[in-house]
Structure 1
Amino acid sequence: MDIHDQIEQYCEQGNDLFDEDDFLGAIAIWQKALDLIVDPNEDWNEVLWLKVSIGDSFYMMDEYEKSLDSLLDALNYPEANENAFIHFRVGQCQYQLGNIESSQNSLLKAYMLAGKEIFDEHEEEGKFYYDFLSSKIKL
């Protein structure tokens, strides 16, 4: 089995654990996949996906600082700035950490990339309230 097959296998295992709400387990598996990537610049798409997944898992555990660190790191990779979900999750982390202006900036980027739907799709988590956004930023 080559490295890319191993990474894919780890990604699938991590996804399964995430779906079972075993966020720490998913992070551990995804970190194993990251450790296999020798040159992150060569495999940036995999690194981006793994860092976003790890950040998402930390967010689900209310570990907002760790989530934010992983997501901000992900934004250093090509095409990340065009991903509405990353900006949305960064905005949620910033909000939870009390960084309201930074939160609004990230949420506005998410809105500009994906429209109002991004908020409707993720409202069920209970961590972000759509009325907060609509009262602060006139959509």
Structure 2
Amino acid sequence: MIQGIYETHLEVSNLAQSIDFFESLGLELSRVEEERGIAFLHIEASERSMIGLWEADSVSKRHFAFRVLESRIDEVPSFLADRGIELRSAFGVEPDDQPLIFPWATLASVYFYDPDGNSIEVTANLSDEADEDLDPIPLDEWRQLHQ
């Protein structure tokens, strides 16, 4: 039944800075209400998924994930690096400039922060079989196991 998220909303400390950040990720600005301190950005206009940004004096940090195709997950670390965005560690594993694999869920993920410290993940479902016995590992190690 549920196939994705239509929208999510974040409190941000600087609306213009956050708009620039999310536009650098390829989101399309669809509406700004400067007097109210809000903006809406869409992810691929045809899909109509969006992020609402709400400027606030105090922000509470959140986490959310963007979904990409398995064939594109390898590109995410360099895509972010080209925009000056650093990867962060997750679950005790350093990013090592490649996606992290969660073998029990067959997900490949890359983690980073937005300017307000919100945790953002870019994830892809993998076509490989799950492996319940493995801890999270870098993508290159996963591929060596599944050649």
Which category describes the TM-score, using the shorter chain as reference length? under 0.3
- Kindly indicate whether structure 1 or structure 2 has the higher relative contact order, using CA contacts under 8 Å at least 6 residues apart: 2
Larger proportion of helix: 1
Q: TM-score, normalised by structure 2?
A: 0.27
Larger proportion of strand: 2
Q: Which protein has the larger Cα radius of gyration, Structure 1 or Structure 2?
A: 2
Q: TM-score, normalised by structure 1?
A: 0.28
